[in-house]
Amino acid sequence: MIPWVTNGPKIGIDRLCYDTVGENLVVTYNLFLEKQDRSVTDITIQVFDMNNIEIVMLENEKEQDIILNPRVSNDPLLSSLSCGEETCHTWTSRGGLQMSTTNLIGNGQDYGVLLLANTATTTDDAANNINDNNSRLEILAGVSFRLGGCNE
């Protein structure tokens, strides 16, 4: 959860259930950031087994925190930069891409699709410090889907 966003980043997929392994997820995202003192780079879409994702309601009961099991955080089942290439030259605040489900397990398995990005502050101190905690990918939003068992 990022408290400096009121209308929050969003991620969506074209369906909540895919019938067969091998279908493409159509993922869209929108990184509306209310405060402009943040730069967004390394926009990444990652897929994890839902058993490794916990959704926690915060005290105000309107916002949620997405917690990823640290044992799998560096090992997503699927991962792609927002441009769909190995490196991106620019980072757009909204976009979309397709991801194949070929390497996932069907049979009614639930997965989470997470939107991550580096949201470092644009101050000179943060930009020059490569070891700053703000230089890591941060979970901004998530959505889930089921693979197989759609008609059950």
CB atoms within 10 A of CB 93: 13
Q: What pLDDT, on a 0 to 100 scale, did the predictor assign at position 2?
A: 34
The distance between the two most distant Cα atoms of the chain, rounded to a whole number of Å, is 54
At residue 117, the pLDDT reads 87
Instruction: Give pLDDT tens digits for 52-106.
Output: 998 887 776 666 788 899 999 889 999 999 887 888 888 888 889 999 999 999 8
List the chain domain ranges.
10-147
CATH number (2.60.40.1930, 3.50.50.60, 3.40.718.10, 3.30.559.10) of 10-147 reads 2.60.40.1930
Chain-centre distance of CA 89, in angstroms?
A: 19
> Phi first, then psi: what are they for 89, rounded to 5°?
-90, -25
Rounded distance, CA 75 to CA 46, Å? 9
DSSP 56: E
Q: Contact 17/150 with Cβ under 8 angstroms? A: yes
User: Are 82 and 97 within 8 A, CB to CB?
Assistant: yes
Q: How close are the terminal C-alpha atoms of the chain, in Å?
A: 33
pTM of the complete model: 0.80
Tens digits of per-residue pLDDT, 128-151? 333 344 457 888 889 999 999 898
Lowest mean pLDDT of 29-43, 45-59, 94-108, name the range: 29-43
